[in-house]
Structures are given as structure tokens and as C-alpha cells.
Amino acid sequence: MGSQARLEKHKESKNSHRSIALKILVPVKRVVDYNVKVRVKADGSGVDLANVKMSMNPFDEIAVEEAVRLKEAGVATEVVAVSCGVAQCQETLRTAMAIGADRGILVETDAELQPLAVAKLLKALCDKEQPTVVICGKQAIDDDANQTGQMLAALMGWPQATFASKVALADGKATVTREIDGGLETLEMNLPAVVTTDLRLNEPRYATLPNIMKAKKKPLETVKPADLSIDVAPRLATIKVSEPAKRSAGVIVADVAQLVEKLKNEAKVI
Amino acid sequence: MSILVIAEHDNKSLKGATLNTVAAAAKIGGEVHLLVAGSGCGDAAAQAAKVAGVGKVLQADAPHYDAQLAENIAALIVANAGGYSHILAPASTGGKNVMPRVAALLDVAQISDIISVESADTFVRPIYAGNALATVKSADAVKVITVRTTGFDPVAAEGGNAAIESLAAGPDLALSKLLGRELTKSERPELGAAGIIVSGGRGLGSSENYHKLLEPLADKLGAALGASRAAVDAGYVPNDYQVGQTGKIVAPQVYFAIGISGAIQHLAGMKDSKIIVAINKDPEAPIFQVADYGLVGDLFQLVPELTSAM
Ligand SMILES: Cc1cc2nc3c(=O)[nH]c(=O)nc-3n(C[C@H](O)[C@H](O)[C@H](O)COP(=O)(O)OP(=O)(O)OC[C@H]3O[C@@H](n4cnc5c(N)ncnc54)[C@H](O)[C@@H]3O)c2cc1C
């Protein structure tokens, strides 16, 4: 057997392990890039998003990376990326596919989407797609809500493991290590389940040019909230958006002695 | 109007964040009830009964509440949500885990991380890593809220005398189970409650340096230790030391940022500190833009000097 043939053989036997389909759904959100310092609009109606760089929410990138690694390890069979929002979210889905997601679904709407509405849209897609695991980012860095994964788990009646720093899937169970206020905890849960990612779960790869090209040819389906019969009307009205109190820079002290003197006599905090 | 506050505790004692959350409930107005769900949580419930301003303590005691699993705790809260206009929990990893589940089961929005109460249905919460503050009004019948503890001064732990009512436990949904915990052991004050925090970043270079330089300073000041994400990622200290947008939000009397550049995501977690001290060799480091007192120089020389000057 030539080496190529052996490789093929190896691939086959690896594939045959995967007789049980294990689909992972990964929701990805298009947000202001994390390097951008946003400005509040003068009229208090929101933040200025004109001509601002948009990217995939960093926690969602970690989620895509984790799902793709599980597929590469032969644990998962398919990775489906989902985004809810404006037409440009297609770019976010292409990024997910460049990392390695197999296909994308866009739930397209120009309406403002709040976490409960997104969770309901994702539930409708889960009912249809029947994934074994949904891996979400723990929070989006725009609204900082930290809700969608937990809400989806609740609506599905599934277990959840939020703030994951380690995920293992085996024998119909997920074992997940979570970052909590006091340290770490490890949970075991039935599948299907929802996992949300923390920063230390993995370091996402950079998409290579060939993979970016390949991603352009992967299937991307578009649906509307109405096709899924979901009412996405917001429950919270934003009355105004304002700038937080500015902290002004203080003084540069000459040396340690002056610092201690200031802390004692000026700030009176030590 | 009654408000249900979900107590944070370890069965033996109540966590400080509960007191800030009761304070937020008091601002909304109405009778405040504290739910203590746990296993063998009588001591925590007894403490809860003493908290100033609490009208009643509801104690749900069952083995399957011991691990605070989101599925079981959320189901318990939802089963007892009737009659409450607001349900509040601290925006700790516990509250963040459970409350969105409660909100979804009640088919209402969650209002995350509030820092101020404008009225019974209107709240202020930070967005974009605290670079903007949104005032939001809820149209839902029940408001499910997590409370950023730094936004509210705690109520007194003593002075109340509430009745403790025992609550029937819900079923064990058995969807997940706790295999184990690795909790960071420390004699130091909790980050969230510390008056002084000594925090270190990538500038320290190694775990050994972090401990060798910062511990003596923290010892002298009776301070808690914190870190930037870069320091945690590099393994200098465990994850629960991380301060920032996605770590802990702190507002001590004094925050020492040592070898920390001052990225937006770090500032999001500490910029409400009363006094910020920065030690950094780079005079252009953004941390100096928020520091009350900046010391430019090599931390390996300055920190030991500072420690001996204290
Ligand atoms: C989605 C997301 C979430 C994030 N969440 C958080 C978060 O919650 N918390 C957080 O902290 N970060 C967070 N970050 C990371 C953040 O963007 C920064 O990368 C991180 O805060 C940098 O840490 P640092 O300041 O320790 O390291 P650096 O930025 O590398 O800074 C090190 C500093 O040390 C100084 N230094 C080096 N040597 C010396 C010396 N000998 N003496 C004196 N000074 C010295 C340098 O001048 C420099 O300013 C997040 C990032 C993303 C994308």
C-alpha cells in the first residue's frame, strides 16, 4: 500500500468512527471590533457606529475554534455557524467558515435584536437542525449582556455550562470546566447541551488565505425571523445612552517617597 | 410590590454581594424577600434573616441545591416567582449563570449588571466595556435583574429580624452534576470586597516575580491581589484574579496597577476605584490617563522600594 493509499485508508477508518452524527451549532455575532473605543452620540441616542470596524465577537471566535477542533479531533461531524442580524452578518459567517465551520445560516433582519429574541431564533433553528451541542460566546462585547446561551438552554430544556475553559465530549456526555468567581468547577452533563466560552478555552487560529477562499464557496442559507414564526420585538427600550463620568489623569510623582506622601496626606487612603 | 433577591452563600455564610443586591432592591422599593437555596443552608438563612431591610427569608434546603446547578436553581426560582415584581441577583458568576435562565422561562428580558435604579422599571447599565451607559426601561411584567455590586453600597449585615419560611424543594432535574471544584485558597480579602487591591500585569514577567514582588506589598497593605488578563493567560495567577470587562469588576479605595498597560477591557473593571496608582516604565501607557498617581520606572526596583516605605 502506497503512503497515499494508507492515508486514505486511515481517513476512512477515522470516518467510520463517526457513524453517529454529532452536529455543533455555533452562534456568531457581528460587533464593533474590540480595539475600537466607541463614542457616544451627542444626542444620546446611542453609540456612533458609522465607519467603525466590525468583527466577530471575540468569544464567538473562541466558540467556532472549539467546535472546529472537536470536528478535527473526530468528535464532531458537522459545524454550523448561525448569525442573527443585518445582511453584513454574512461576512461574520464567512469568517466562521474560514476558521472551519461547514456552512452558515443567516437569520436576516434590520430590527434591533435583544438576547431573548436571539435565543428564540436559535431555539427555532435548534428544533430544525437538532444539534448535539451549541457553543456560544459567554457575552458579546457590545451589549455585554451575557444571556443568550443560558436563555437558549432554558428554552430547550437543556443543561448548560457557562464560562467554559475546557470542554470534552464523550459517551453522550459533556464534561466542562468552568471559570467561576472562586476558581474553577467541573460539571458533567447530558447531551444535548449549551456551552458558553470563556477566554482561556483556546486561542483561535488565523484564517489562512486558502481557507478564506474556500469559505466563499461554502453553503450560506438565509431565513427571516417571520419564516421561523418568531416575534423579535424588543422588551427593553433604550431611553438614552450617555458617557460615563470621565476620570481625569492625575499627577506623575517623582519617586516612591512622594507617592507615599500623597497617599497618606492628600488622598488619605493609607 | 415585593422583590425577591437571590442570596449568594456557601450554605454556612452569606456572601457580601448579597448585601449590595438588597441595597439595589431597597432603591426600587417594596418588601424584600431573600431566597436562600442550598443544602444544609440553615446558617446562611439565619444570617439572611438579620440583614437590614429584609422582610422574609425563604429557605429551600435539598441535596440537589448544594452545587447551585443552574437548571435546578432556575426552576426553583421560577416556581416561586409568583407575586414578585422584580427578581434580583448579584452579577457574579453565580447570578450570571442562573438569571438569564429564569428570565427565559418567564418569557421576559433580563436587565444585566445594573449600576443604578432610576425608577421601578428604569435602570442604568454599562455597555461597550463601560464606555457608554445605557438607561433602559422594561415593559415586562416581571423584571429579572443582575446587580453590579460596585454600583450600590451594601446594606447592614445586622439589624434585621426577618422570619424564615421553609420552601418546598422542586424536583432534581438531574440534567447536570458537579464533579469537583478547585477553589483558590487565600487568606487575603475577597477582590470584590477589598479596600485596597494590588494588581499585576504582564510587566511582572513571570509567576515567580508576581508573587515575590506583589505579595509583600499586599501583606503590608492588607490588600487583595488582582491581575490583568495577560497575567492570567500567562499563568502567573489563577483565573479568579482577573479584573476587567470579562473578569471581576472592582472599585476599591486604592487600586495599584503594576506592569499593566491599561487596555480598555482592563479599565472596564477598575476605573471606578477611588484612587488609582500606576507603576509602569512606559510613560505613554494608557493606564496613566486614568491614574491619580503615576510612577514611571522599572517596577522591579520601585515595588520593593514602595513595600519597604509602607
Ligand atoms: C474579548 C476580550 C476581553 C478581554 N477582557 C479582559 C479583562 O477582563 N481584563 C483584562 O485585564 N484584559 C482583558 N482583555 C485583554 C486586554 O485587551 C489586554 O490585552 C490586557 O489587559 C493586557 O494586559 P497587561 O496590561 O498585563 O499586558 P500589556 O498590555 O502587555 O502591558 C504590560 C505593561 O507592563 C509594562 N512593563 C513591562 N515591563 C515593565 C517593568 N519592568 N517595569 C514597569 N513596567 C513594565 C509595559 O510598559 C506595559 O505597559 C480582553 C481582551 C479581549 C479581546
pLDDT category at A141 given cuts 50, 70, 90 is very high
Query: A62 pLDDT exceeds 90?
Result: yes
Please check the confidence at residue B17 and state whether its pLDDT lies above 60.
Answer: yes
| pLDDT for the residue B193 | 87
At B1, the pLDDT band (50, 70, 90 cuts) reads: confident
Mutation pick from A123, A180, A258 vs chain B, by most beta carbons of B within 10 Å, is: A180
Cβ contact A53:A32 at 8 Å: yes
ipTM: 0.96
pLDDT at position A59: 98
B260 lines ligand 1 (CB under 6 A): yes
Residue A246 Cα to ligand 1 midpoint, Å, equals: 21
B83 DSSP assignment: T
User: What type of residue is B267?
Assistant: L
* Domain extent listing, chain B: 2-166, 191-309
Contact flag B176-A144 (C-beta cutoff 8 Å): no
Question: How many of the other CB atoms lie within 10 Å of CB of B241?
Answer: 25
On whether the CB atoms of residues B97 and A162 are closer than 8 A, the answer is yes
Q: Which CATH number fits domain B2-166: 3.40.50.620, 3.40.50.1370, 3.40.50.150, 3.40.50.880?
A: 3.40.50.620
Q: pTM for the whole thing?
A: 0.94
Instruction: Give residue B206's pLDDT.
Output: 98
A255 half-sphere exposure, CB direction, 13 A CA radius: 4
Residues A226-254 pLDDT 10s: 999 999 999 999 999 999 998 888 999 99
B80-102 mean pLDDT: 98
Give how far A177 is from chain B: nearest CA, Å: 9
In words, the CATH class of domain A7-239 is alpha beta
pLDDT tens across B35-73, in order? 999 999 999 999 999 999 999 999 999 999 999 999 999
Mean predicted confidence (pLDDT) in A36-43: 95
- CA–CA dist A24, B24 (Å, integer): 39
CA of B200 to the centre of ligand 1 (A): 9
The rounded Å distance from CA B243 to ligand 1 centre is 11
What pLDDT sits at residue A19?
52
Reported confidence tier of residue B278, pLDDT bands at 50, 70, 90 = very high
Say which residues have a Cβ less than 8 Å from residue B82's Cβ, sequence separation at least 6.
none
Inter-chain contact B246–A198, Cβ cutoff 8 Å?
A: yes
Q: Is B158 exposed, middle or buried (0-12, 13-18, 19+ CB in 10 A)?
A: exposed
Residues 6+ positions from B114 with CB-CB distance below 8 Å:
B24, B123, B124, B125, B145, B146, B147, B148, B151
Q: Whose CA is nearest to atom 26 of ligand 1?
A: B201
Contacts of B18 (CB under 8 A, 6+ apart): B5, B7, B8, B9, B34, B48, B51, B90
Nearest CA of chain A to the CA of B163: how many Å? 30
Interface A-B: count of C-beta contacts within 8 A: 252
State residue B68 phi and psi, 5-degree precision: 60, 35
Q: What residues of chain A lie within 8 A of the CB of B112, using their CB?
A: 144-147
Instruction: Please list the residues that pair with B224 across neighbouring strands.
Output: B197
Is the model's pLDDT at A119 over the cut of 50? Answer: yes
Q: How far apart are CA B174 and CA B64, in angstroms?
A: 8
How far apart (Å, rounded) are the C-alpha atoms in residues A265 and A270? 9
Burial of B8 (0-12, 13-18, 19+ CB in 10 A): buried
Q: Ligand 1 pocket: which of B209, B243, B265, B302 to mutate (most atoms <8 Å of CB)? A: B265
> Percentage of chain B surpassing pLDDT 70?
100
Within chain A, what is the greatest distance between any pair of CA atoms? Answer: 83
Q: Is the pLDDT of residue A6 over 50?
A: no
Within 6-65 of B, beta carbons closer than 8 Å to A belong to none
Q: Mean pLDDT of all residues in chain A? A: 93
Chain A residue numbers with beta carbons less than 8 Å from the beta carbon of B103 are 116, 147, 151
Q: Name the residue among B130, B138, B253 with its Cβ closest to that of A269.
A: B253
* Superfamily of B191-309 according to CATH: TPP-binding domain (3.40.50.1220)
Q: Tell me the average pLDDT across B121-142.
A: 97
The per-residue pLDDT for A14 is 45
What pLDDT was estimated at residue A268? 93
Task: Check pocket membership of B130 for ligand 1, CB cut-off 6 A.
Answer: no
**Averaged pLDDT, A159-172:** 96
